[in-house]
Amino acid sequence: MAIRDVRLPEDEPAILAFLHGLQDYEAEFEPDRRRDPAWAVEHWQEALRRRAERSGAMFIAEDDTGQPVGWAFAHDETNELFVVEAERTHGYLAELYVIPEARRGGHGRALIVACEGWAKARGHTVLMVGVLAGNAQAIRAYEGTGFAPYNLTMRRYL
């Protein structure tokens, strides 16, 4: 297994496949996921914009044969003014996905460690991640690497 920086444009097809894979997985428990063909390209363009504007970093996880099996994307984020200044600007783990065949092999944990290293190098003392409430597998994985619940967003359909 190896973790490396994303190389563009060669990694773009794998990342687009990862985006579709995550969306398909999340659609199993969250009905608001877009599934149209254009969404992944739109989302990828937005991620590239955020990476440029928010000093982001993107990483690829490779298996032992050098094939991409997952990716992560982190960027700077700024919290509300009511948060103490030392924690207001923090790292945000915006994307993380590992293909089903490679899960439980340490790739996700290694991608998180890469994002933590990026955040520390940026001077951050906090790394945040958003997780869908229905994604119990991801919640367990993040808790297993030291993340703890911070905020709860609730929804009511009208």
Domain ranges within the chain, ordered by starting residue? 2-144
What's the pLDDT score for residue 37?
83
Instruction: Please state at what angle helix 136-144 crosses helix 107-121, rounded to 10 degrees.
Output: 60
Helix (H) or strand (E) holding 75: strand 68-78
Q: What's the pTM?
A: 0.94
What local confidence, expressed as pLDDT, does residue 44 receive? 97
Q: Would you state the pLDDT for residue 119? A: 98
Number of C-beta neighbours around residue 24 at 10 A: 11
Biggest alpha carbon–alpha carbon distance for the chain: 50
Work out the angle between the directed axes of helices 12-27 and 39-53 (0-180°, nearest 10): 110
Average pLDDT of the chain is 95
Q: What 3-state class would DSSP assign to 23?
A: helix
Ranges in the chain, pLDDT < 50? none
| Both structure tokens of 25 | 């997985």
Spatial contact of 133 and 29, defined as CB atoms under 8 Å apart:
no
- The fold adopted by the segment(s) 2-144 is Aminopeptidase (3.40.630)
Dist. CA 104–CA 148, nearest whole Å: 20
